Amino acid sequence: MTEEKETELRRRHPWWNVPCEHRDGWFDLLDRFAASVDAHGGPAPELLQVKQKFGELRVYLRGDDVVRQLAEEATKASRTTCEECGKPGTLRWGPRVRTRCPEHLVEEE
C-alpha cells in the first residue's frame, strides 16, 4: 500500500502501527475493519502484520474474539475485492494467486 494510504490509516486509527504489504485496492476494507474495531470499544488490538497471502488479505494481530472475527470478515471480503482498485474481483489461481477485477486480470496476462 502506498505511504499516503498508510498515513491515512494511522491518522484515522492511531493504534494502526504496521505497514501494509499489499496494493491500494484493499484500503477501504482495512479502513472499515479499523472503524469497526474502534466502534467495538474494547482494547485496541496489537497489529503484528498486514499482507496479501494466497490472494487474500491477512491481518495478523492480538485482540479479543470480536476483533479477530472482524479481521476474518475483512479477509473474507478481500476474496471478492480487487487488490489493485477495490472493485468487485475474483480470486484467481495461476502463477501468482491474486484477487483481481476483470480489468486488472487482463493487465497481468
Alpha-carbon separation of residue 64 from 41, 51, 76, 82 (angstroms)? 11, 20, 19, 28
| Look-up of cell digits 494510504 | 5
User: How do the domains of the chain map onto residue ranges?
Assistant: 3-79
**Model confidence, pTM:** 0.93
pLDDT in tens, 56-66: 999 999 999 99
C-alpha cell of 66? 470480536
| CA distances for 74 relative to 24, 94, 109, angstroms | 15, 23, 27
At 12-56, the pLDDT tens digits run: 999 999 999 999 999 999 999 999 999 999 999 999 999 999 999
